[in-house]
Chains A and B, each alone.
Chain A
Amino acid sequence: MTLGKWLHNQWVSLQLRQSYFDEHDYVIVDLELTGLEPKKHEIVSAGWLTMQSLKIDLSTAGYMLNRNVTSLLQSPIYHGLNNTQLTAQGVSLSELLDGLAKVINGRVLVCHNAQLDWGFIQHAAKAQQRVIQPKAIIDTLKIEKHRLLVQGKPLKQQDLTLTACRARYALPKYSEHNALSDALATAELLLAQYHSMNRGSREKLSAIM
């Protein structure tokens, strides 16, 4: 990378962080996986929604199953999807990545535990030689972790699950481990977190990232 390009990138990222949270378009993505390691495990399904001006738009909801999964391992206990369903209703991993690329590129990506989901997306995109590049990434798990640490509360691993986080904001209970439901659950959590952070004033993106 040339110095000029590096400087340009720094400048773009600085500008982005200084912009307001509510001016961006967001895509909230959740994946169901066969395990936790991008190199060993696979994407089973992906669900997403977009959000503009702090308004979650359900007409943009997307949900895809991967029919190329080679081995589901023990994962059906969580997401309940079996090979028959995947073959009957699924699309190829390549189509699934096309779908993700279309909504993620040019938007800010939001995940609960972004390290995991974004890790899988990046790994799959690289393997299939695709470019998937969000403007920025926001992690609702990190936001919550930071918030609880600031409050000086002792943290346990189970305090940061999507369900536990939502309960703290009195958000309704959803069925877990459906990628699209979880994506909506994450989007709503983000709005509740944003509100508890700003109480009516506009926040910069940097305050949320």
Chain B
Amino acid sequence: MTAHVQDVMAFAHQQMPFSHLPEAASAYFSKHLSIVYLTQENQADWLNPTDVNLYLVRSGTFDLVSVQGEVVTRLAEGDYFGFPSLLTGDKISNRLRVVTAGLVYILGQHSFDYLRREYKEFEQHFVRAHTNRLLSTYYQSKSRNWSEFKVNEMMSAQVITSHKLLSIAEAAQVMSRHGISSLIITDGSQLLGLITDRDLRNRVLAVGLDPSLPVETIMTEKPKFIFENNRVFSALHLMLKHNIHHLPVLDEEYVPKGMITSTDLLKLQKSDPVQLISKIYKARSVMEVKRCASELPELLKQFSNKIEDISTIGKILSGVTDALTTRLIQLYQVEYGAAPCAFCWVCFGSQAREEQTLHSDQDNGLVLEATVTNEQLLYFARLGAYVCEHLVACGIKRCPGNIMASNDACRGTVKQWSERFDKWIKSPTPKAMLNCKIYFDLRLIDGSASLFRDLSTQLEQICKDDLFYAAMATDINTNSVPIGLFHQFKLKKGTTDHKYLDLKHRGVVIINDLVRLYALKAGVFKANTLERLEALLQYDMLSKKDIFDLQDCWRYLTQLRVKTQIDRDGLPSNCIDPQVLTSLQKHQLKEAFFLIKQAQQASVFKFARGSL
């Protein structure tokens, strides 16, 4: 009662290597198949690491993803997968990302081996395919830099947690069963704490604690964590900053998704900005800090050739400045004693937005506890002067507008700060508008997080004035993109004879301003422009398309800007000579400016009711 499904056989016979083999091979193949409908949800049922098979895609689209989270190849009709394991006997390590669900033919190891024995060409085909894939993965892995990975692309795939009421001994057994050195403790779903091998040694064995006690007694409560969508770079920075080796990974609902360890990261770490940050945090003196900082420009030059998404550089530079600032604050306290009351060091402007360049200057300030005394104020005045002075020595220029913690006006209690903000909002003079643009991009660098939260809450409350938004929108519109009536570039004349385009002030800045306006209105308290746009997806102020367009424009302009900054030739910083652009780049640039112009006009209608 043998029967062949003609359609399956015909399909097989069109595919390599069957097209080069006798029909009997296709017949054998089609007779020994199973067919499944593979979806994102059920793929684990069919791709069992220990049960090796040859898979042939009949319909649908699937991305084959390596353990490191890289797309090895995209699979569609007629593509095979699973054969490397059949050939090598290794466990399946790659995973699938289902783009569109579809039918997949599965041939078991036994039948694969039969065909391999019977038909030399069959074996050759798959051996060759295996080699090719190894090569292409190698080249791909060279072109992509690890710091661009998202955390969830490289964390351990399965999350191992333990309930807080489990005994210490049981938790230790879980750890040893899974061969892990740290364990996430939950109340069932949410992250409560963390225990590590070291805790078991120091808090249990060394002190003779009863291992039948609940594990919550020895856990580190409220450990630092990272979100799965953050970049690996941020995870590493957090670990270095706090000198920790295990970082739980959470999703947006704060549910644990995995763990990332310093060993994971060390394996990936090949480039130097990260080591530099680590060196800064370990520096024992101001001299050492400065020496680290002096390595930066050269390092950046090497590094910029290696990464594709050049906007990462803004993040790295801000990361370095964050590290320098934090270390200087720490060194000050070592030298002159711990701070007499709670404080937090905040940064504004480009550092807060994480889009610093080598030419960015300092914008920072100190927020102090409400009870601060005059004597204590003196301590912080000195701290401000110390840190700002040394940052200048590290190559981060003094702020021309004197927005620096060394300035008396830039130190104050939450109340004093919110009064300043309130004044600008209530009387939106041009000067006040300029202040708003700088001060409303703010980020905590070091010190008390609760003070910073207080300030953010205050700011959220005072940002309710419609008049303020109208004034901001109008102000943003006084700055125009360099596109003329006939879609031509409007060029500025430089000090030399160059004609140039200012990418920063007439491009990136306008996007930043617009996005800040919407973010404030929506109550989104983030500083980074891309992150603000991402968060704005949740509100119906801007359409999805507008958000994606602005993100693309921003990335494009930033990329162009940083690139020209690195290999520039006598142009003012942030500017570009359109002569050197290819026609495609010119076209893209015009398109970007055009989209910005549209977004500007839309903001006037929205906030100033067309009063321009």
A residues in contact (CB < 8 Å) with B: 47, 49, 54-59, 61-64, 99, 170-172, 174-175, 178, 180-181, 184, 187-188, 191-192, 194-195, 199-201
Known: A54-B37, A172-B59. 7 other contacts (CB 8 A): A49-B5, A56-B35, A58-B33, A61-B31, A184-B8, A187-B35, A188-B35
A188 to B4, CA, bound (A): 16
* A49 smallest CB distance to B (angstroms): 8
* B13 smallest CB distance to A (angstroms): 14
| B3 and A200 form a contact (CB under 8 A) | no
CB-CB under 8 A from B1, the residues of chain A are 62, 64, 99
CB-CB under 8 A from B3, the residues of chain A are 47, 61-63, 180
A61 to B4, CA, bound (A): 7
A62 to B101, CA, bound (A): 28
CB-CB under 8 A from A99, the residues of chain B are 1
A81 to B39, CA, bound (A): 38
A81 to B41, CA, bound (A): 42
Is B102 part of the binding interface, using a Cβ–Cβ cutoff of 8 Å? Answer: yes
A191 to B5, CA, bound (A): 18
Question: Which of A54, A171, A181 meets B59, CB within 8 Å?
Answer: A171
- Mask for B24-67, Cβ within 8 A of A = 1, else 0? 00000011111111011110010000000000001110000000
- Mask for B575-603, Cβ within 8 A of A = 1, else 0? 00000000000000000000000000000
A61 to B34, CA, bound (A): 11
| A200 and B39 form a contact (CB under 8 A) | yes
**When A55-B34, A55-B35 are in contact, do A199 and B41 touch as well, CB less than 8 Å?**
yes
Would you give 14 A-B contacts (Cβ < 8 Å), ordered by A? A54-B37, A58-B5, A58-B32, A59-B32, A62-B3, A170-B100, A171-B59, A171-B102, A191-B36, A195-B101, A199-B39, A200-B39, A200-B40, A200-B41
- Mask for B1-24, Cβ within 8 A of A = 1, else 0? 111111110010000000000000
Question: Which of B7, B31, B36, B100 meets A55, CB within 8 Å?
Answer: B36
| A174 and B7 form a contact (CB under 8 A) | yes
A175 to B10, CA, bound (A): 11
Is B103 part of the binding interface, using a Cβ–Cβ cutoff of 8 Å? Answer: yes
CB-CB under 8 A from A184, the residues of chain B are 5, 7-8, 35
Q: Which residue of A is nearest B32, CB measured?
A: A59
* B229 smallest CB distance to A (angstroms): 22
A55 to B58, CA, bound (A): 15
CB-CB under 8 A from A175, the residues of chain B are 6-7
CB-CB under 8 A from A172, the residues of chain B are 11, 58-59, 77, 103
The majority secondary structure among interface residues of chain A is mixed
* B76 smallest CB distance to A (angstroms): 12
CB-CB under 8 A from B6, the residues of chain A are 175, 178, 180-181
| B37 and A61 form a contact (CB under 8 A) | no
A176 to B101, CA, bound (A): 23
Question: Which of B30, B34, B45 meets A57, CB within 8 Å?
Answer: B34
Q: Which residue of B is nearest A189, CB measured?
A: B37
Among all A-B residue pairs, the 3 with the closest Cβ atoms: A200-B41, A191-B37, A63-B3
A58 to B108, CA, bound (A): 12
Q: Which of B11, B35, B60 has the most CB of A within 10 A?
A: B35
**When A55-B36, A58-B34 are in contact, do A181 and B103 touch as well, CB less than 8 Å?**
no
Question: Which of B7, B31, B37 meets A59, CB within 8 Å?
Answer: B31
A47 to B37, CA, bound (A): 21
A158 to B128, CA, bound (A): 47
CB-CB under 8 A from A188, the residues of chain B are 35, 37, 103
A55 to B37, CA, bound (A): 8
Q: Which of A58, A192, A195 has the most CB of B within 10 A?
A: A58
A56 to B1, CA, bound (A): 17
Q: Which residue of A is nearest B7, CB measured?
A: A174
| A56 and B100 form a contact (CB under 8 A) | no
| B36 and A181 form a contact (CB under 8 A) | no
* B166 smallest CB distance to A (angstroms): 28
CB-CB under 8 A from B4, the residues of chain A are 61
A195 to B37, CA, bound (A): 8
